[in-house]
Amino acid sequence: MSGEAAPRPLALVTGASRGIGAALAVALAGAGHHLLLTGRDEKALVATEDRIHAGGGTATIAPLDLRKLDDIDRLAAATAARWDRLDLLVLNAAMLGTLSPLGHVAPREFEEVMLLNVTAQWRLIRAFDPMLRRARGTVIGMTSSVAPGRAYWGPYAASKAALESLLRTYADEMAALGIRVLVVDPGGTATRMRRQAYPGEDQATLKAPELVARRIVEQLAAGLAKGASRLELDRAGEPRVTAAMA
């Protein structure tokens, strides 16, 4: 880790090197959080950290490959040794995989998508659970409109359905302890993953990651209901909030 922490609420954002993760990290710093930035690309994490510092915020970078599951436990131990609590855990990092019929998906690729998009997310919740309990914190998980299932999106769709189930379960278990969960479906957003899924799409027609980040921060400021809530953004970025348990 590098950087000096300020006495601010602590937020950990995975996939903070670019896209929605980076934009949300910058927005949360602007809202008063100290950011713990994780991702595989250290150079890109430093760029996000520089944006935060330029805005008067504070951040710490922790380069991490979430597919190395034991490193998640080591990160949690190092974080707990420095901070007493974790106020916000943002589960943003994910991989798309190849869009193809289910019968054509390579077993190894299916396993890789599930490893990052499901198993690593559970390991993050498990590892940081004690710090979240102490803070009566919040978990944000990024989902997708394809989670119920869509042709050619099999592994990714299944992984997001599984993540939503994990988040609802954790919210139900932790409701009495004051931990809140926000499931976010950002809709079409100008990101690298979106370009991978729709290579011919004009990204100028999509909302920017910064708008998604702003809507999330606005929802946090407005307060979350007990248990799990769901934030969906339409193509223009207009929000719709519902109970994720419904």
In SS3 terms, the chain reads as: CECCCCCCCEEEECCCCCHHHHHHHHHHHHCCCEEEEEECCHHHHHHHHHHHHHCCCEEEEEECCCCCHHHHHHHHHHHHHHCCCCCEEEECCCCCCCCCCHHHCCHHHHHHHHHHHHHHHHHHHHHHHHHHHHHCCEEEEECCCCCCCCCCCHHHHHHHHHHHHHHHHHHHHHHHHCCEEEEEECCCECCHHHHHHCCCCCHHHCECHHHHHHHHHHHHHHCCCCCEEEEEECCCCCEEEEECCC
Report how far residue 130's alpha carbon sits from residue 111's, in angstroms, rounded to the nearest whole number: 28
Report how far residue 2's alpha carbon sits from residue 53's, in angstroms, rounded to the nearest whole number: 13
Is 156 an active-site residue?
yes
Active site residue: 152, 156, 170, 198, which one? 156
Report how far residue 102's alpha carbon sits from residue 237's, in angstroms, rounded to the nearest whole number: 31
Residues marked as catalytic: 156
